[in-house]
Structure 1
Amino acid sequence: MSIPQHPFGLMTKIYRDIFPVVHFYVKQWREKAVLIPDEELRTHALAGIDDKGFHCEGGGIFAMISGPHKQQCIEFIIAYQLISDYLDNLCDRSTSLDPVDFRMLHQAMLDALTVGATCKNYYQFRDEKEDGGYLHELVQTCQRILSDIQHYPLISKQLLELSQYYCDLQVHKHVKIEDRVPRLENWFEHHKNALPDIEWYEFSACTGSTLGIFCLVAYAFKDDFNEKQAQQIFRSYFPYVQGMHILLDYLIDQEEDRIGGDLNFCSYYSSEAEMMERIQHFVEKADDQLTGIQHEYFHKFIHRGILGVYLSDEKVTSKKELGKLAKRLIKLGGKTCYFFYWNGRAYRTFQKIAWKRSS
């Protein structure tokens, strides 16, 4: 599959060649999730699919890189993203506040990236256990696909590093409210010497994205992939592209998180002006880090697409002040970002109907 060099051609391929395959696999997993015996687990598994389906759509776009292996690549991305969203729901709206429980649950994400790893009793520290094999099947699907990738050994180290960051974040941010910030600050202290000049809450945001993992897997399907490319992809996506992705996610969820009492990394900036200045910094640094990467134009489409799609969310467009701030960021992204912004607004009009039909 060739990668178009114009936004219109790219979006045409995404709607025609990527989303139908994404919806096919999501529908299959939803049919399995409906059969989960435990009501609590079933509820969170279905919520991860029905409320966060756009995560699967966004991740699936990386499969364009994998050429003739598109279907396998999408199958991996969907399975891994569904693990992420399912476990996030289990921790976020949990019957537990136990970090040991959260750590064991997220071992599934590490095992999914480790070919040959034995599935474990991921629910052993919580009351709800009967998922009918749902989580094990997701993990084994990821392992099966990775085992067929010739260059898996070249990406395994980077995959596990990014996943470990993600899992650590999920543990620290879901414990008792009074323990969250001290744990996250302490975690940051252990890593800050290897990081650029960022704050603890910005580091946390950088670790909360799966984009780098999907990009590495997509490239590893290519015959000419090498270790140097693996290192370049890692450096290009972490920390700034991933950080920009999650900061935008938190930007649009500020009011929702405030009402729900959930931790929101954007709330730790001293002012709205500082927040926008730092998000703009992440946007600019992300663009810099993607310069020189193979298929640079594609990755910069993704970069501007993230900007445009997040900022087209009604949680932004319906609020006057946030809308003004969003326009500054969209302007920074240029014409391509405007394209994705209006495309995102149009697509959201039909998105709920499409997902209902696919499920």
Structure 2
Amino acid sequence: MADAGRDGLAARIEARALAEGFSACGFCAPDAIPRAKERLAGFVAAGHHGTMAWMAERMGWRGDPSALWPEARTVIMLAEVYTPEEDPLALLSRPDRANVSVYARGRDYHDTVKKRLKRLGRWLVAETGAGIKVFVDTAPVMEKPLAEAAGLGWQGKHTNLVSRGLGNWFFLGAIFTTLDLPRSAAESDHCGSCRACLDICPTGAFPAPYRLDARKCISYLTIEHAGPIDPDLRVKLGNRIYGCDDCLAVCPWNKFAGVARETAYHARETLRSPALRDLAALDDTGFRALFSGSPIKRIGRNRFLRNVAYAIGNSGDAALIPAVEPLTSDADPVVAEAAEWALARLRSAVAGSAAPPPRDRSSDAAR
């Protein structure tokens, strides 16, 4: 964070940011992440971005924030906590229920954070007349390296940002400005020998600490990836139908996590532990109504139902057969194939449980 003694304006910006509802504020130069371009190029060259072609198409801007807006002299990085009220891992033991990533259980954070950024930005313009641009995860801006440079935290072994004061449950936003503000001290790595986030990953998506292969990441598979998911990975999704929080949830630094003050981030009751049976019955109209104002809406009904079908197949619950059977004739071929797969798994589980136990031949051998 900025040193209030070095620059009164920086201190005022930080105070205003906290008053607006942000949890932390820091400052860095647009060129403060020189290694980002090389790391991004390596990530793409290895194919770890999967089908996210936009990462390759805009590497020039993404790897060099100063190229995005050459007039900018400072990047103001903001963090906003969304710490869950309950342990997100607990729902994994309820296979008939859907597990939605914590950040998507409330209203779309893009809208909430952007409105807060714009309010802070309007105040800054009124106070100084400076030029600004605001960004929230929708432009080619590498927020996590910039936030590290601005002292908000460090990129942990799971590649997400971790803070000694906030844990790792927080959103990031950025304000680029023509103001030349004092820089915050960059944060250093405090992961130590811990590898909890790496070891818990269901799909082994981390080929090494601080490296992610998105092609195996459940968040990527359930949100970004279109089309069928590899059968070997489907079985590892469990009941995760939108995103995955495992690596975030086990981080020891969460013991210092702040409480989410923004009520928009609190989970909707309908998304705390929704029944897979109910979600499988959604048509397009029902899907849009249920997820109005939610980030889930952007993946569309078909991809969502594909994920639901996989979760039903992983449940081992024969009572869900009537819920998934109608989806085998769905108009979307990917949904239909996912439902066929799920139905086959459930029927196999039923057949296996109905089969008589194998005969104990030990007494025969003794004769």
| Higher relative contact order, chain-length normalized (CA < 8 Å, sep 6+) | 2
User: Which category of TM-score, normalised to the shorter sequence, fits these structures?
Assistant: under 0.3
More strand by share: 2
More helix by share: 1
Structure 2 length as normaliser, TM-score? 0.26
Larger radius of gyration: 2
